[in-house]
Structure 1
Amino acid sequence: MPNNAFPSIIVFDVNETLLDITTLEPLFDRMFGNPRMLREWFAQLVLYSQTMTLAGLYTPFGELGIGALRMTASIHDINITDADVSELKERMSSIPAHPDVLPALTRLQDAGFRMVTLTNSASSTVPTPLEKAGLSSFFEKTFSVEEARKFKPAPETYQLVAAELSVETSDLCLVTCHLWDTIGAQAAGCRGAFLKRSYNDMLPAPNVPVPDLCASDLTALADQIIKRKQGA
């Protein structure tokens, strides 16, 4: 691919980017008395997944998620039951898509882009969360970091996708609502498209890579990708 050409393979992050985890808020409201505790739990989950990778260790994302739930509850002196854990697992397996996802994927598919997913979550049994959300038909393949046994943003996770597709990382554009994910992808040689949803933003600090594209709506971001590919 020429250096100035935009990739035709789009790699989507799943949780929060495609699937709306805010639907878990009622559970956290019941357990903690505050729906915003969802954000604290998820931040702990991401922090410790990355910590495990930096330490050269690996525990599946789902198991870390349960551990992070118990840890967060302990910090706030809340009792978490086995039923609470089971409910979290069940809800996590059936998270719906954000409203802007279906039209965005349709536009990209109609424009001829190849699309795959890359998630920190382990592979799941059928039906998968993407199948339950009605999105699986858009993707030619779904990748989990479990094969690399490292979590994003480790370079090996993005390299895994490139190797499996027999392309270079420069042939990939990652779409994600996590800036730490675009930072990792760009450092590994991919393009980065940042979806700025209501709970995230840019990090204005020296040497932080600026995403190639940025929008607050996935449909608008898809339009930017199409225009960039067309050289507009």
Structure 2
Amino acid sequence: MPYPPSELSFLMRSGPAVIIFDVNETLSDMSVMGGRFAEIGAPPFLAKVWFAGVLRDGFALAAAGDRAQFVEIAAGLLRVSLAGLPLNRGVEEAVGHIMDGLAELALHPDVIAGVRDLKAAGFRLVTLSNGSSEMAGKLLGDAGIRDAFDALLSVEDGPAWKPAPGPYAHAARTCGVEPGQMLLAAVHPWDIHGAARAGMRTAWINRTDSPYPAYFTPPENIVGSLRDLAPLLHADTSHRFR
């Protein structure tokens, strides 16, 4: 049965119109990067340490009022991290091998179906990455779901890295909606916190069944798979009329 006009108006106001996705680790499966480090003779665990350092340095630059492109920080930190290790090739060649791996990442297994479910449910979909929009485009294009997204946004087009407030406001302006009409889906609690502080709704994708840090703003929704998000949002809006 169709909703009466008054209830339909309330539904449009209360539910998110746009789902905004983080890209690195949320959509892309970076677990394979450990293999790239092993192939150059470096410890596989260094992949996680390095990526955490890339985020740290990006955040530090943002806090200081500066910024640099993701690839610039990633490659520069690799040169620091790999210096002095007994690699099986030169440092510059090793850096190139790791950076090539970033460009060849695939999606998590739940992403394609989850994205299609959300698109079929009528949500507008966009990305907002601390990386480049070109990298996001290749990732989604290779998987055959680029056309599901209205826009691929990057902090390179905004004032700072997430979780500073600027990128979230930039995304809302670009999409022509209020922050409260957007829902950020991400695996990173720091991103959830930033989006919530910017007035957005949030969904934490917790694929590893990890505890959520108590010092960050808690997510409005928690799912173990992106496939669970569309049914959860549908149930949430349906519940408002019971």
Q: Which of 183, 203, 209 is the equivalent residue of 1:173?
A: 183
Q: Which residue of 2 aligns with 1:94?
A: 104
Question: Residues 55-74 of structure 1 correspond to what in structure 2 (within 5 A)?
Answer: 55-74=64-83
Q: Which residue of 2 aligns with 1:162?
A: 172
Residue 52 of structure 1 deviates from its aligned partner by: 0.4
Q: Which residue of 2 aligns with 1:35?
A: 44
Residue 200 of structure 1 deviates from its aligned partner by: 5.2
Cα separation, 2, equivalents of 1:183 and 1:125: 24
Q: Which residue of 2 aligns with 1:17?
A: 26
When residues 133 and 201 of structure 1 are mapped into structure 2, their CA distance, relative to the original with a 3 A threshold, is: farther
Task: Determine if contact 2:79/2:91 at 8 Å carries over to the other structure.
Answer: no
Q: What is the TM-score normalised by the length of structure 2?
A: 0.86
Cα separation, 1, equivalents of 2:107 and 2:142: 9
1:202 lines up with 2:212 in the alignment: yes
Task: Determine if contact 2:209/2:224 at 8 Å carries over to the other structure.
Answer: no
Q: Which residue of 2 aligns with 1:117?
A: 127
One-letter amino acid of the structure 2 residue matched with residue 229 of structure 1: T
Cα separation, 1, equivalents of 2:140 and 2:202: 22
Cα separation, 2, equivalents of 1:223 and 1:78: 50
Contiguous gaps of at least 5 residues in structure 2? 1-8
Q: Which residue of 1 aligns with 2:5?
A: none
Cα separation, 2, equivalents of 1:170 and 1:78: 51
Contiguous gaps of at least 5 residues in structure 1? none
**Greater C-alpha Rg:** 2
Residue 32 of structure 1 deviates from its aligned partner by: 5.2
Task: Determine if contact 2:37/2:98 at 8 Å carries over to the other structure.
Answer: no
Task: Determine if contact 1:25/1:38 at 8 Å carries over to the other structure.
Answer: yes
Task: Determine if contact 1:178/1:200 at 8 Å carries over to the other structure.
Answer: no
Q: Which residue of 2 aligns with 1:227?
A: 235
CA RMSD of aligned residues (A): 2.3
When residues 220 and 163 of structure 1 are mapped into structure 2, their CA distance, relative to the original with a 3 A threshold, is: same
Cα separation, 1, equivalents of 2:36 and 2:72: 18
1:106 lines up with 2:116 in the alignment: yes
Partner deviation per Cα, 1:69-127 (whole Å, 9 max, x = no partner): 222224x7455622222222222112111101111111111111111000011232796
Cα separation, 1, equivalents of 2:73 and 2:209: 22
One-letter amino acid of the structure 2 residue matched with residue 227 of structure 1: A
Q: 1:105 aligns to what SS in structure 2?
A: helix
Cα separation, 1, equivalents of 2:140 and 2:211: 25
Residue 138 of structure 1 deviates from its aligned partner by: 1.3
Cα separation, 2, equivalents of 1:220 and 1:10: 14
Q: 2:119 aligns to what SS in structure 1?
A: helix
1:217 lines up with 2:237 in the alignment: no
Q: Which has the higher helix share?
A: 2
Cα separation, 1, equivalents of 2:207 and 2:41: 24
